[in-house]
Structure 1
């Protein structure tokens, strides 16, 4: 089960504001909370009191709570890697190691008596994880999570992100990465150009970022890196399908109710023997074989356009097609909708036999 998460930064906010945010996130189906101890400079006793309260609130909502730490924090708080009682007393579910130790120490941490999960930094394409596993780590308590990057142009490039992530996914380790809210202004540091893992996500709508991460099939959990995401952003993420890609579409004014039904009410399965020009959803044509799709004026076919075979298309009547490459007009097909521009790149993630869904952008139509 893929999860959604939010981040809070108590040293830059108030307990009440953080509680309100967690309440809102929980309402929209969020299950994880991330926070960072790397920038905390307060005395240990004061830190414990505040974090116990906010973690306790998260736990009352059945939300998993992970604390981001590094070796320097262990020294600052006089904590040993072989005694994680401090984090257990806070009520945390686990700790994320922003910087690692030597492999053996991480392995020993996975056998802590409190059942704390040990989350590893995924954003380095080195043999860090194999080193830990060589020391016979308890994989049941291992997680992986990428970094976020507050400075623009410093986020991970896609190919590097995939390479890093596969190291964990291939070992069966649960993975996570960050997306950024376009409304959140709070992070751990004074620079906050957005808190995403992938640089290409920095200015995209938050739901498009999440859909992309899930479409890669190397990320399980999606966490909003900055606080506070708007209620609209939380709602958009909370309403997403987590197990299949869905594309937002804008219908043409003359699209019929039947055509909208075919597009929106069906799970679309890409044909296995694929075409490089289009994604073919052929199962729907069998279901709607006895229905009529009157022919309309044909139009050229551009990437992101969605067509349905009309009554002149013989056995292909009712077939839904999403265009990948430009083609000339075909009078046997009706243009019914277009995938929104910012999601065109997601078309490349619909693999042979891949299931996808179409959802309407409320209140929007597009012209021929």
Structure 2
């Protein structure tokens, strides 16, 4: 499922409403950020919780000992957190005590810190009678550049978690408002820090088997949220592209992929057209959108997306290109993906 993050310094009720309309289900927030301004929390927190409840958004607060001080609640008074409207908790500490976890499960759905959970912990939890259906594992995000996880170690750890049937959650950056105080993005994987959020989300889903993807930063564009949700729901990929004038009819269409996948190009399942004129024969860098012309014989009219750099071919017209930020999506297109070209 899709999630966003909200921090009280940047609280935007309209963003919550729009995200819910896009299909978001989770709202992560932290209640122990040192740089956060909690001076008006008594006003903002009820507004935040009531809005999320009305919109059907599940609030996931990151809880540590500092949280109780910030909320002016007696330390360890989880019952008070429930009274305030929290239904889920992301525990940064304290879950090494299985009895505590079992007790909290009576009132909350729990997200545990995936960075410190291991096979031994999970085996112990099962033996202790912890309800594994009421637990998810949430990876950290990393505000400082160069500190995010590597994808190989991330995948290796997740393979262990998947054997227990656990939901795994990870974060990607936003593309509108980065979170204070560093404004360097909040991804789980370091390789996602500079990527477009859609590319990062699709990689997590397609290659890493992650089902819950959350925006870590204060805000992502509504267009980005819609695009991620469309891929989650029906493997629809909205790809920003430029098409030459005569081929702009391809915009905003749901285009399927041929079932027999080629190694070097992605072949679109569009009807071929005979006698396509020879036009714009030039080199074809990765991300080019091309059409076979009349010199290709019965292949005339077939449309390809280039997965690699190629030279000029008199039989191939270059009719457009994918926006550079979206070219990486070519890595994740398979025969049940649906492509929708969007105008730049």
TM-score by length of 1: 0.77
Q: Deviation of residue 249 (structure 1)?
A: 4.2
Cα distance change of structure 1 residues 343 and 215 upon mapping to structure 2, 3 Å threshold: farther
Partner Cα separation in structure 2 for residue 20 and residue 264 of structure 1:
27
Q: 2:266 aligns with which of 279, 285, 302?
A: 279
On the 8 A contact 1:103/1:131 being kept in 2, the answer is no
Alignment of 1:60 with 2:54, yes or no, is: yes
Unmatched 5+ residue regions in structure 1? 363-368
Q: Deviation of residue 166 (structure 1)?
A: 3.3
Partner Cα separation in structure 2 for residue 332 and residue 150 of structure 1:
49
Written as runs of structure 1 = structure 2, the 5 A alignment for 1:126-141 is 126-127=118-119, 128-141=121-134
On the 8 A contact 2:179/2:185 being kept in 1, the answer is no
Partner Cα separation in structure 2 for residue 129 and residue 146 of structure 1:
16
Please state whether the residue corresponding to 1:313 is helix, strand or coil: helix
Partner Cα separation in structure 2 for residue 350 and residue 67 of structure 1:
35
Partner Cα separation in structure 2 for residue 215 and residue 182 of structure 1:
21
State the match for 1:176 in structure 2: 169
Alignment of 1:166 with 2:159, yes or no, is: yes
On the 8 A contact 1:249/1:337 being kept in 2, the answer is no
On the 8 A contact 1:169/1:218 being kept in 2, the answer is no
Partner Cα separation in structure 2 for residue 249 and residue 22 of structure 1:
25
Deviates more, 1:305-314 or 1:55-64: 305-314
Number of equivalences: 336
State the match for 1:347 in structure 2: 330
Q: 2:115 aligns with which of 110, 123, 126?
A: 123
Alignment of 1:326 with 2:324, yes or no, is: no
Cα distance change of structure 1 residues 35 and 332 upon mapping to structure 2, 3 Å threshold: same
Written as runs of structure 1 = structure 2, the 5 A alignment for 1:242-253 is 242-243=231-232, 244=235, 246=237, 248-253=239-244
Please state whether the residue corresponding to 2:152 is helix, strand or coil: helix
State the match for 2:6 in structure 1: 8
Partner Cα separation in structure 2 for residue 359 and residue 133 of structure 1:
47
Q: 2:211 aligns with which of 220, 230, 233?
A: 220
Partner Cα separation in structure 1 for residue 298 and residue 93 of structure 2:
59
State the match for 1:366 in structure 2: none
Unmatched 5+ residue regions in structure 2? none
State the match for 1:314 in structure 2: 297
Partner Cα separation in structure 1 for residue 155 and residue 93 of structure 2:
20
On the 8 A contact 1:270/1:350 being kept in 2, the answer is no
Alignment of 1:19 with 2:13, yes or no, is: yes
Give CA-to-partner distance per residue, 1:284-318, whole Å, 9 cap, x none.
2xxx2466533324223321112222333334333
Cα distance change of structure 1 residues 315 and 107 upon mapping to structure 2, 3 Å threshold: farther
